[in-house]
Copies of this chain bind each other. A is one copy, B any other.
Amino acid sequence: MVKIQEAPEPLGVREQQKQATRASILQAALEMFAEKGFEGASIRDIAAKVGVNHALIKYHFEDKESLWKAAVEFLFDRLNEEMTVAPESEEGLSELDRVKNFVRRYVHYCAQHPEHARIMVQASVRDDERLEWATRFIKRSHMVGMTDLKKHVREGIWPNVSHISLIYILVAVCQTFFMLAPEVKRIHGIDPFSKKAIDAHADAIITLFFDHKSED
C-alpha cells in the first residue's frame, strides 16, 4: 500500500520513538566524541549515556565510523541553519557592521555548541580517511567565508594579508575560548559559557580586529 503525499504524514508512535532514540544516540555520540575523541569514546559508553544497550547502536548507525559521520553531518547541517541570517534583518547596515554581526553570531554559535570545534579539531590533526571524508563539509563552509572575506579585504575591513591565514585567525579566535572551556575554568576561574564572558569575548575580538590601533 503506497501513499502519494506532498507533506509527510504524522508518524506512527513506534516510528516516533525510533527517531527519538536515534536522536538521543546522536546527541550522546556528539558529546562523547567531542570529549574523548574517536577511539576514546566507546560505543558502550555512548549507549550507557542514552540508557540503551550497545547493540542497538548498530541497528541505527551500522558501525562506529558511520555514527561518527552522522554526527559530523549533523554538526554542519546545524551550523548552516544557525548561521544563516535573513537579508531583511541587515538592511541599511554598513558592510563593517555586517562583519561585526557575523563575528557575534559565530561567537555565540561556538559558545552554544563547543562540541563542533572539539570534534573537528580532533579530526583535522590527523590525515586519515575520516578527515578526507569530512573535507567536503569543511571546504563548503570555508568557501562561503572566503568569498566574503576577499571582498572585505578589498573594502579595507580586513588588512591585505594572506587570506588563508585570515580565515584561520577568525575561526580560531571565535572557537578556542569555548573549545578549551575546562582549561579556562581551571586556569582562570571563570565560566566561558556565562552570558557575560560570551559577550566580553565577542567584544574583545571586534575591538581588537576593527576598532583598535596600537600606539607606538
Residues in A lying within 8 Å of B, measured CB to CB: 34-40, 94, 96, 118, 121-127, 131-132, 135, 138-139, 142, 155-159, 161-162, 164-166, 168-169, 171-173, 175-177, 179-180, 182-188, 190, 197, 200-201, 203-205, 207-216
The interface residues of chain B lying within 8 Å CB-to-CB of A172 are 172-173, 175-177
Q: How far is the CB of A186 from chain B (nearest CB, A)?
A: 5
State in angstroms the CA–CA spacing of A161 and B123 once bound together. Answer: 32
Q: Using known A-B contacts A39-B37, A172-B177, determine if residue A214 contacts B135 with beta carbons closer than 8 Å.
A: no
Taking a contact as CB atoms closer than 8 A, the residue among B121, B159, B162, B187 that contacts A212 in the complex is B159
Question: Are A179 and B213 interface neighbours, CB within 8 A?
Answer: no
Known: A40-B37, A183-B124, A201-B162. A208 touches B209 (CB 8 A): yes
| Residue with the highest number of chain B CB atoms closer than 10 Å, among A36, A132, A139 | A36
Which chain B residue shows the least CB distance to A37? B37
Whole-angstrom distance between the alpha carbons of A161 and B190 in the complex? 15
Chain B: minimal CB distance from A25 (Å): 20
